[in-house]
């Protein structure tokens, strides 16, 4: 071994499974019987060059009208059209997906929430990764209290605080609410705190309709209690559905 070259030492390390003695480039070069590059063990350690992959450009095409808009303008058109349909209680609009539209202003969100409160056809509202803050979500509380048809609310990957999460749970706890699936995970405030998790847990335990809650908890007690309660709700709703079907 005293007279072995770096290539031979790397090949030997790969054969013996000593992968910690080499980097990924050396290991794969040894497996593929390629020459070593970079000076071997005696060379200067260098970082690998990053492989830059450009983002796909946004699709500027309006399929319906065959015109071209900027991404922000196209998003505004989509939202305005959705608000009009919600306000008019359009039966064709049962699922509204606004995920990843980051250009919504507080005024637009407020109009959307007002339309939600007047709507009786929408079943699912998805607004994940839309840069929503707690202040922007505030108008939604009243809409959730008066709306009795919305079943799925997705507000994942936003900037909603623990206090607003608690208010959202309170808003859907009324007898008129039909929300069974609430998705709130991956907020900017990743750690809620023990006291906030306890308050959220108590609010969830008082809701007999909620079947799914997308939210991360740090304390085992909160996770266990909420999981058991949601499981109980699912079983109860299944029994009720069977009774209604047989009746």
Asked if residue 139 belongs to a domain, the reply is yes
Q: What is the pLDDT of residues 206-233, one digit of tens each?
A: 999 999 999 999 999 999 999 999 999 9
**pTM of the entire predicted model:** 0.71
List beta partners, residue 124: 95, 152
Give the residue from 76, 52, 44 showing the smallest Cα distance to 62: 76
- As a whole number, the mean pLDDT across the chain is 83
User: Could you tell me if 17 and 127 lie in one domain?
Assistant: no
Asked if residue 51 belongs to a domain, the reply is no
Asked if residue 60 belongs to a domain, the reply is no
Give the residue from 225, 238, 206 showing the smallest Cα distance to 215: 225
* CA–CA distance, 165 with 181 (Å, rounded to integer): 14
Query: What DSSP string describes 122-147?
Result: --EEE-TTS--BHHHHHHHHHHHHH-
Q: What is the pLDDT of residues 79-98, one digit of tens each?
A: 888 899 999 999 999 999 98
Strand ranges for the chain from DSSP E: 61-62, 67-68, 95-97, 124-126, 152-154, 181-183, 212-214
Asked if residue 124 belongs to a domain, the reply is yes
Q: What is the pLDDT of residues 16-27, one digit of tens each?
A: 766 555 566 666
How many domains does the chain divide into? 2
Asked whether residue 30 carries a pLDDT value surpassing 90, the answer given is no
> In percent, how much of the chain has pLDDT > 90?
54
User: Could you tell me if 13 and 79 lie in one domain?
Assistant: no
Q: What is the pLDDT of residues 63-74, one digit of tens each?
A: 333 344 445 555
* CA–CA distance, 173 with 204 (Å, rounded to integer): 8
User: Could you tell me if 90 and 199 lie in one domain?
Assistant: yes
- Residue 181: the pLDDT is 97
Give the chain's radius of gyration (CA, Å): 27
Q: Which CATH number goes with the domain that contains 218? A: 3.80.10.10
Confidence of residue 59 (pLDDT cuts 50, 70, 90): very low
List beta partners, residue 212: 181
How far is CA 246 from each of CA 209, 233, 237, 238, rounded to the nearest angstrom? 21, 20, 14, 12
User: Could you tell me if 86 and 208 lie in one domain?
Assistant: yes
- Residue 60: the pLDDT is 45
- Residue 21: the pLDDT is 59
Asked whether residue 41 carries a pLDDT value surpassing 60, the answer given is no
Size (the chain), residues:
247
* CA–CA distance, 171 with 141 (Å, rounded to integer): 6
User: Could you tell me if 35 and 78 lie in one domain?
Assistant: no
User: Could you tell me if 127 and 226 lie in one domain?
Assistant: yes
User: Could you tell me if 20 and 99 lie in one domain?
Assistant: no
User: Could you tell me if 99 and 148 lie in one domain?
Assistant: yes
User: Could you tell me if 19 and 80 lie in one domain?
Assistant: no
**What is the domain extent for residue 176?**
72-246
Q: What is the pLDDT of residues 142-152, one digit of tens each?
A: 999 999 999 99
Asked if residue 49 belongs to a domain, the reply is no
User: Could you tell me if 10 and 131 lie in one domain?
Assistant: no
Lowest-pLDDT range of 60-64, 73-77, 149-153, 157-161: 60-64
* CA–CA distance, 196 with 190 (Å, rounded to integer): 12
User: Could you tell me if 201 and 115 lie in one domain?
Assistant: yes
Asked if residue 64 belongs to a domain, the reply is no
User: Could you tell me if 27 and 117 lie in one domain?
Assistant: no
Asked if residue 81 belongs to a domain, the reply is yes
Asked if residue 56 belongs to a domain, the reply is no
**How many DSSP H helices and E strands does the chain contain?**
8, 7
């Amino acid at each position: 071994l005293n007279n072995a070259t770096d290539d031979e030492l790397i090949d030997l390390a790969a054969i013996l499974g000593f992968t910690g003695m080499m980097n990924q480039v050396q290991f794969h070069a040894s497996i593929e019987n390629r020459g070593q590059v970079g000076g071997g063990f005696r060379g200067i350690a260098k970082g690998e060059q990053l492989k830059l992959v450009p983002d796909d450009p946004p699709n500027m095409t309006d399929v319906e009208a065959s015109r071209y808009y900027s991404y922000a303008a196209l998003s505004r058109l989509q939202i305005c059209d959705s608000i009009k349909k919600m306000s008019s209680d359009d039966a064709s609009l049962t699922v509204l997906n606004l995920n990843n539209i980051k250009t919504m202003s507080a005024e637009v969100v407020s109009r959307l929430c007002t339309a939600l409160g007047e709507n009786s056809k929408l079943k699912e509202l998805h607004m994940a990764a839309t840069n929503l803050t707690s202040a922007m979500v505030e108008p939604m509380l009243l809409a959730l209290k008066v709306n009795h048809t919305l079943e799925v609310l997705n507000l994942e990957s936003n900037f909603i605080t623990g206090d607003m999460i608690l208010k959202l749970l309170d808003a859907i706890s009324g007898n008129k609410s039909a929300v069974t699936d609430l998705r709130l995970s991956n907020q900017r405030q990743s750690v809620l705190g023990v006291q906030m998790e306890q308050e959220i847990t108590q609010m969830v335990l008082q809701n007999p309709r909620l079947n799914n809650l997308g939210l991360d908890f740090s304390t085992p007690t909160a996770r266990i209690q909420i999981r058991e309660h949601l499981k109980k709700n699912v079983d109860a709703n299944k029994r009720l559905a069977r009774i209604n079907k047989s009746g």
